[in-house]
Amino acid sequence: MGLTPRRSRQLASLFGLGVLLLALLIQFGNLPLVNTLYQQLERHTYDQRLSYHLAKDQPVDPRIVIVDIDEASLLREGRWPWSRTRVAELLARLQASGAILVGFDILFAEPERNPMVTVMDALGEEGIDLPPKWQQLTSQLDADATLARQLAAGDVVLGYTFNPHQPHRSGELPAALPLGSDNPWALQALPAMAGYSAPLPLLTTHSTGAGFFSLQPDPDGIVRRAPLLAKYQEQLYPSLSLEMLRRLFFLEQVELQAGLIDGKPELESITLDSSLTIPTDSHGNMLIPFRGPTGSFPYLPAHQLLSGEFDPELLLGNIVLVGTTAPGLFDLRATPVGEIYPGVEVHANLIAAMLDQQFLHEPSWARGANFALALFIGLLLALLLPWLRPAWLLLSSATASTLVVVLSGWFWVEHGLILALAGPLLVVALLTVFNLTWGYFFESLTRHHLKEMFGQYVPPELVDEMSESPGSFGFEGESRELSVLFADVRSFTTISESLEANELKRLLNHYFTPMTRLIFEHRGTIDKYVGDMIMAFWGAPVSNEQHAAAAIDTALAMLAETERLKPEFAARGWPEVNIGVGINSGLMNVGDMGSQYRRSYTVLGDAVNLASRLEGTTKYYGVGLVIGERTRELAGDAFVYRELDRVQVKGKHQAITVYQPICRGDEATTTLLDELDQYHRALALYRAQAWEQADALFQALAEKAPQTHIYTLYRERIAECRLQNLGADWNGVYVRDNK
């Protein structure tokens, strides 16, 4: 770069301010995709803090008991839904055991069929004259009425659901909440519900109250917050947990604290009878302050309650929530404290938090505080880090990160306030990475190092391009889709036996020099020379979207150059040289590989091995170049191809289609295109087992172009196939037993 150390550090500070601006845009800018990724990162740090701050060995909260319709209860009592008569028995046992309030995290939306009505319907007209006692039985066997009578015998809050999108309505909603003050922004801040599924009117009428138990997860599917209020037709309705708290303490008036923030109505908190204030987010959601993992509240299996196999002291004077943990009843949620967490225990956590008045809250001023903290940390590090040695740089960044974590934890533990953690840490991380990159990869030493690393593999002009952004290149291994080429001199053993060692070396040097030049001219990377074989690839270290086409262009040029060299070799008294070239494209591992004694920048993988196999098939098909189907797909219609075969090469279980690129599309003559069209029609007839027609076409082609071995090859195959019973499902695949 030609910069003095002082100037370099000044520039690093200046660019560091740009990095800070980028970090602030990620955190506070309206960039949809970036903001989504950042919010997911922030949610992850929230989950980690929540898990960390959970009290170790937290005792089970005995005040709220969960009556669990679990798998054992379903096995004992039968599949859900149970008869309302059985539910009434369960409720009666709860009331008799001294439960002061019962809430159902279950919806009773459909009426239960009366068995007497079923009988009377079956009797038809004969059932009209049934005696009065049968009519009386009809009333006695009304399960919904039985449950309604039991609901009226105690304090019971039923559950229902709201739907923000579907306008479907069923059942009967409870009375709306009375608002204690007329705040013009309060109802506007709450999202409107479109429909609901509520209990049967008979049940709603006889219950103490009802609350919705709908839970909406965050975009990543994790339940972190729960709505306490919902708006339907400009009326206010409470959640199950909020309604149970209201009924427990006889709270009537509800006041909403709301205001305009950035021109939008946002809710801040909910106050009940001026005695209990619950902080919420802008839409009336409460962050769930989980006490711990599943089992933080006592569970009583429903079948034990029904059979009387329980300790009544467990229920005496306590709140009871009736819900389910059976997987088939679909009330298991993903939460920060457990991937499988009962929804009924979420409501238990909400009630416990309101009882204890211990909340987690992200206040309206948190956004400004988050911005100020990120800006302060960023300015400090942007100006400081460029002047520090690497060890002190890392120590300063670690100290700044620790201070951010400690400050965030203090607000969480002492005040229940949630401040952003991912944002400030992102600022620290980006500035740290930037300064390390500047110090180690953006200096002139890195440019020089790049030339040393890649000069032997890639052409000089590519090394110059790489030096423009040295941090983007290195020897580290990575997976990338590339195109690889193998070129091999045919009958090399015979050639080597006819020449002395020095003469053979001169021949190879004379051959490799123009071949290497062609590879470099087409922006290829030399992998290695092995005897008479050249291996090269395209797409690394410099990316090249046209790597397949570049490899094919190189191969065609190599074949043409080989023909040009033949007279020159003959004049020197050297044997004639012919080559076979195989190309394949696919996902490969590319990087600096080897041992501590010898390393090379190379490619590895199945796609590489297949390219070697394809080179080996050139002699069999009598062509100079064979490519794989992925190379054909990537190169597209830039070339004119001959489809050679569907072949299963040695070492592979799946067949592939192989092709021979003949020339660029704009170089093809009408005669060539007609010949290829006739060939492909013959190939289609061969695969359709139309032997006579296919053989006739291949014979005609062989007479026109006797030098093209593939036509004779297929005539020989047809002769073999006629002697075999291939079956209707034969797909034309040829199995190669040798390489």
Other beta carbons within 10 Å of 78 = 11
**pLDDT given at position 442:** 54
Average pLDDT, integer, range 371-379: 93
Is residue 476 classed as helix, strand or coil in its secondary structure?
A: coil
Q: Mind listing the pLDDT tens digit for each residue in 500-515?
A: 888 888 999 999 999 9
Q: Which pair of structure tokens corresponds to residue 26? A: 């990620």
Percent of the chain with pLDDT over 90: 64
pTM of the model: 0.60
Domain 479-664 has CATH 3.30.70.1230: yes
Q: Which pair of structure tokens corresponds to residue 354? A: 């309101």
Instruction: Name the more confident of 730 and 174.
Output: 174
Q: Mind listing the pLDDT tens digit for each residue in 554-565?
A: 999 999 999 999
**pLDDT given at position 133:** 62
| CB within 8 Å of 302: residues ≥ 6 apart | 67, 68, 69, 70, 73, 77, 90, 322
Give the orientation angle of helix 366-384 with respect to helix 5-28, to 10 degrees.
170
Return d(Cα 558, Cα 579) in angstroms, integer: 9
Return d(Cα 486, Cα 608) in angstroms, integer: 9
**pLDDT given at position 471:** 47
Q: Mind listing the pLDDT tens digit for each residue in 389-417?
A: 888 999 999 999 999 999 999 999 999 99
The 3-state DSSP composition of the chain as helix, strand, coil percent (nearest 5) reads 50, 20, 30
Nearest residue to 88 (alpha-carbon basis) of 62, 109, 116, 108 = 108
Average pLDDT, integer, range 573-588: 94
**pLDDT given at position 1:** 40
The residue type of 558 is M
**pLDDT given at position 236:** 92
Average pLDDT, integer, range 353-376: 91
Question: Exposed, middle or buried, 288 (CB in 10 Å: 0-12/13-18/19+)?
Answer: buried
**pLDDT given at position 12:** 84
Is residue 287 classed as helix, strand or coil in its secondary structure?
A: strand
Q: Which pair of structure tokens corresponds to residue 365? A: 């001023």
Instruction: Name the more confident of 126 and 347.
Output: 347
Average pLDDT, integer, range 589-599: 71
Q: Considering only 347-351, 432-436, 607-611, which range has the smallest mean pLDDT?
A: 432-436
Is residue 469 classed as helix, strand or coil in its secondary structure?
A: coil
Q: Considering only 11-20, 129-138, 330-339, 506-515, which range has the smallest mean pLDDT?
A: 129-138
Instruction: Name the more confident of 171 and 648.
Output: 171
**Domain-wise residue ranges, the chain:** 5-56+365-441, 64-253+289-356, 479-664, 669-730
Q: Is the pLDDT of residue 631 over 90?
A: yes
Q: Is the pLDDT of residue 692 over 60?
A: yes
Q: What is the H or E stretch that residue 513 is in?
A: helix 501-521
Q: Which residue intervals of 216-286 are DSSP H helices?
A: 240-249
| Whether the Cβ atoms of residue 525 and residue 540 lie closer than 8 Å to each other | yes
Question: Exposed, middle or buried, 596 (CB in 10 Å: 0-12/13-18/19+)?
Answer: exposed
**pLDDT given at position 93:** 96
| CB within 8 Å of 708: residues ≥ 6 apart | 622, 701, 702
Average pLDDT, integer, range 698-704: 93
Residue position matching structure tokens 């049940």? 203
Confidence class for position 444, pLDDT limits 50, 70, 90:
low
Q: Which pair of structure tokens corresponds to residue 535? A: 């291996």
Q: Is the pLDDT of residue 461 over 80?
A: no
Return d(Cα 518, Cα 477) in angstroms, integer: 26
Return d(Cα 691, Cα 9) in angstroms, integer: 78
Q: Is the pLDDT of residue 149 over 90?
A: yes
Residue 60 backbone phi and psi in degrees, to 5? -65, 135
Annotate 105-149 with DSSP letters as a single string. Answer: -S---SPPPPHHHHHHHHHGGGGGG--HHHHHHHHHT-HHHHHHH
Q: Considering only 86-95, 567-576, 590-599, 676-685, which range has the smallest mean pLDDT?
A: 590-599
Instruction: Name the more confident of 137 and 212.
Output: 212
Q: Considering only 99-113, 292-306, 490-504, 629-643, which range has the smallest mean pLDDT?
A: 490-504
Percent of the chain with pLDDT over 70: 88
Sign of CA pseudo-dihedral 76, 79, 81, 83 = negative
Q: Mind listing the pLDDT tens digit for each residue in 117-130?
A: 666 666 565 555 65
Instruction: Name the more confident of 178 and 402.
Output: 402
Q: Considering only 110-124, 158-172, 461-475, which range has the smallest mean pLDDT?
A: 461-475
Arithmetic mean of pLDDT over the chain:
88
**pLDDT given at position 465:** 61
**pLDDT given at position 353:** 95
Residue position matching structure tokens 């009290």? 55
Q: What is the H or E stretch that residue 656 is in?
A: strand 656-664
The residue type of 585 is S
Q: Is the pLDDT of residue 178 over 90?
A: no
**pLDDT given at position 54:** 86
